[in-house]
Amino acid sequence: MTNQPKTSTSLPEAIRNDGRLYQGNLVHYARVLFHHAQNLAHPYHNFRHMFHVLWLVHEACRFYRDELTPREMRNALVAALFHDYNHSGMFGDDDLNIERAIRGLRRHVATEDLPYIEVIVELIRGTQFPNVVPSDELDLCGKILRDADLSQAFSVAWIQQVVFGLAAEWGRKPIEVLRMQEPFHRNLAFQTEWARTTFTQDAVDAKIREARELLELLEPAPEEGASS
């Protein structure tokens, strides 16, 4: 039975594991990313994205605290931190980005996680986009990580992070990425009860309306397009 937490945990609290939710803490890995990852300042696949996904996975672990073991939670949290480690910040070839992340994990893995490294690796592989591993083949931790990775558009900074960030990485105009937001949200299919509870259909519909209204405001008029 799930237990929906009523209050959120701060990022430092999650990293230190103040609530004794999972095994150990993530201080070693947080320091590795902060000091060694080469993609921290990318437009989208950056520090904010990696640590936001970590925070969301931690919230999901709190939701599933009666269903996941502390070890399973740790596996998911380490995978969340490393799923985009050293991402190229370019469109396409996400299989290569996954391999960069896995190499980074293997290079910096803590001794206590060595027996579980292949489990963590498979969780990271589940985040490849477009998806290679079907959602119904993922375990609960894999589904949590995939849902967390897709939910960036619900953050308060989604226009800067998603629209401008992905536009810069893809070599597209921001207005083109803004046009993609409504179909993206209409096709969202969260795999976990946690995600469906956190990002409700009402929230999805509200984000669609927001994207549509922004597009109507910002779409160039025909005469502007003709003169540019």
Residue 20 belongs to domain with CATH number: 1.10.1300.10
pLDDT in tens, the chain (228 residues): 445 555 789 999 999 999 999 999 999 999 999 999 999 999 999 999 999 999 999 999 999 999 999 999 999 999 999 999 999 999 888 899 999 999 999 999 999 999 999 999 999 999 998 888 888 899 999 999 999 999 988 988 899 999 999 999 999 999 999 999 999 999 999 999 999 999 999 999 999 999 999 999 999 877 655 554
Q: Specify if 100 maps to a domain.
A: yes
Classify 210 as helix, strand or coil: helix
Q: How many domains does the chain have?
A: 1
Q: Using CA atoms, how far apart are residues 148 and 126, in angstroms rounded to an integer?
A: 12
Q: What's the predicted TM-score (pTM) here?
A: 0.92
Q: Which domain holds residue 210?
A: 11-227
Task: Show the tokens assigned to 99.
Answer: 């391999």
Q: Using CA atoms, how far apart are residues 190 and 47, in angstroms rounded to an integer?
A: 24
Decide: 113 and 78 in contact? Cβ < 8 Å: yes
Sign of dihedral through CA atoms 81, 4, 194, 201?
A: negative
Task: Show the tokens assigned to 11.
Answer: 């990022």
Q: Specify if 176 maps to a domain.
A: yes
User: Among 35, 41, 131, 126, which residue's Cα sits nearest to residue 80?
Assistant: 126
